[in-house]
Structure 1
Amino acid sequence: MALRAVWKGFLKFGAVTCGIKLINAASDSEKIHFRILNRKSGQPVKAAYVDEVTGDVVGPEDQVKGYQLDSGEYLMIEPDDIKKLKPTSEHMLEVDETVDLAAVDQRYLDKPYYVVPADAMSEEPLAVIREALSRKKAAACANIVLYQRGREVVIRPHGDGLMMTTLRNAKDVVSEKSIFDGIKVPKTDPEMVEIATMLIDKKIGKFDPSTFEDRYENALVEMIGAKKAGKKLPKPAAAPKENVVNLAEVLRKSLEKEGIKADKAKKPAARRKSAA
Structure 2
Amino acid sequence: MPARSIASLSLSFGLVSIPVKLYSATESASDVRFNLLAPDGSRVKQQYVAESTGEVVERSAMKKGYEFERDRFVVFAADELKALEEGASHVVEMVAFIPEKAVDPIYYDKAYFIAPDKRGGKPYSLLQRALVETQRCALGKWASKGKTHIVQIRPASEGLVFQQLLYADEVRSLADLHIESVPVSDAELKLAIQIIEQGAEENYDPKAYENEEKKRILAAIDRKIEGKEIISAEPEEDASGGQVIDLMEALRASLAKGGTKARSAAGPKEKAAKDDVTEIAAAPKTRKPAVRAPKAPAEVPAKVRARK
TM-score by length of 2: 0.76
Q: Distance in 2 between matches of 1:58 and 1:2?
A: 43
Structure 2 residue aligned with 1:274: none
Contact 2:114/2:162 (<8 A) preserved: yes
Contact 2:256/2:282 (<8 A) preserved: no
1:161, distance to aligned residue in structure 2 (A): 1.1
1:175, distance to aligned residue in structure 2 (A): 2.1
- What letter is aligned with 1:199? I
Change (3 A) 1:4 1:46: farther
- Are 1:113 and 2:109 matched, yes or no? no
Structure 1 residue aligned with 2:278: 264
Question: Residue deviations 1:35-92, cap 9 Å, x none?
Answer: 1111x21111122222333333333322332223437343332332233234456222
- Are 1:175 and 2:173 matched, yes or no? yes
Structure 2 unaligned residues grouped into runs of 5+: 264-274, 285-308
1:193, distance to aligned residue in structure 2 (A): 3.2
1:177, distance to aligned residue in structure 2 (A): 2.5
Q: Distance in 2 between matches of 1:201 and 1:72?
A: 56
- What letter is aligned with 1:246? D
Q: Distance in 1 between matches of 2:68 and 2:193?
A: 57
Q: Residues 52-131 of structure 1: matches in 2 within 5 Å? A: 52-70=51-69, 72-88=71-87, 90-117=89-116, 119-131=117-129
Decide which of 200, 220, 225 is 2:222's aligned counterpart.
Answer: 225
Change (3 A) 1:49 1:6: farther
- What letter is aligned with 1:187? V
1:226, distance to aligned residue in structure 2 (A): 3.7
Contact 1:195/1:265 (<8 A) preserved: no
Q: Residues 1-276 of structure 1: matches in 2 within 5 Å? A: 1-38=1-38, 40-70=39-69, 72-88=71-87, 90-117=89-116, 119-179=117-177, 181-190=178-187, 192-205=188-201, 206-229=203-226, 230-238=228-236, 240=238, 241=240, 242=242, 244-258=244-258, 259=260, 264-266=278-280
Q: Distance in 2 between matches of 1:66 and 1:142?
A: 32
Count the aligned residue pairs. 266
Contact 1:244/1:250 (<8 A) preserved: no
Q: Distance in 2 between matches of 1:111 and 1:223?
A: 32
- Where 1:266 maps in the other structure, the secondary structure is helix
Question: Residue deviations 1:197-256, cap 9 Å, x none?
Answer: 333222223310111222332332243334334134222533644464222332333233
- What letter is aligned with 1:193? L
TM-score by length of 1: 0.83
Contact 2:88/2:146 (<8 A) preserved: no
| Larger displacement relative to structure 2 (237-246 or 204-213) | 237-246
The root-mean-square deviation of aligned C-alpha atoms, in Å, is 2.7
Q: Distance in 1 between matches of 2:164 and 2:86?
A: 18
1:169, distance to aligned residue in structure 2 (A): 1.6
Percent of matched pairs sharing the same residue: 27
Contact 2:249/2:283 (<8 A) preserved: no
Q: Distance in 1 between matches of 2:73 and 2:173?
A: 33
1:133, distance to aligned residue in structure 2 (A): 1.3
- What letter is aligned with 1:42? G
Q: Distance in 2 between matches of 1:51 and 1:239?
A: 49
Contact 2:114/2:159 (<8 A) preserved: yes
Change (3 A) 1:53 1:12: same
- What letter is aligned with 1:163? V
1:25, distance to aligned residue in structure 2 (A): 0.9
- Where 1:265 maps in the other structure, the secondary structure is helix
Contact 2:95/2:139 (<8 A) preserved: yes
- Where 1:121 maps in the other structure, the secondary structure is coil
- What letter is aligned with 2:231? L
